[in-house]
Amino acid sequence: MNEPTPYDERVLAVVALIPRGTVMTYGDVAEFMGEGGARAVGGVMRRHGGSVPWHRVVLSDGRPVPTYDDLAGALLVDDDTPMTPDGRRVDLAKARWDGR
């Protein structure tokens, strides 16, 4: 695996800050950083996300990353993250973290 680039390191640093019980979307991470976009953040997470709480970064509709949705869902529940009534998505109105 390639070593993380400086951009990758910045993405991972933001993800590492996301508190337990909250999430950011891929787009939120990019917006918070003021660089890149949701797809670029997704690429970083795909390559290097295992070193940070990757499950706290979700799709724009609150769904966990599809590849690991069962594991991510279990980790989000363990974090006491507010979920929608069906338990399949994060309740973004309650759980979205703005970086402050």
Instruction: Write down the pLDDT at residue 100.
Output: 84
Mean pLDDT over 7-14 rounds to 97
Structure tokens, 57: 């970064």
Which residues face 57 on adjacent strands?
24
Look at residue 95 and tell me if it is in a domain.
Answer: no
93 in a domain, yes or no? Answer: no
Residue 99 lies in a domain: no
How many domains would you assign to the chain?
1
- What CA–CA distance (Å, rounded) separates 72 from 55? 5
- We report the CATH number of the domain holding residue 62 as 1.10.10.10
Confidence class for position 1, pLDDT limits 50, 70, 90: low
Residue pLDDT, tens place only, 55-99:
999 999 999 988 887 899 999 999 999 999 998 899 999 999 998
Is residue 92 included in any domain, yes or no? no
- The whole domain housing 72 covers 6-85
Classify residue 54: in a domain, yes or no. yes
In angstroms, the CA 50 to CA 77 distance is: 18
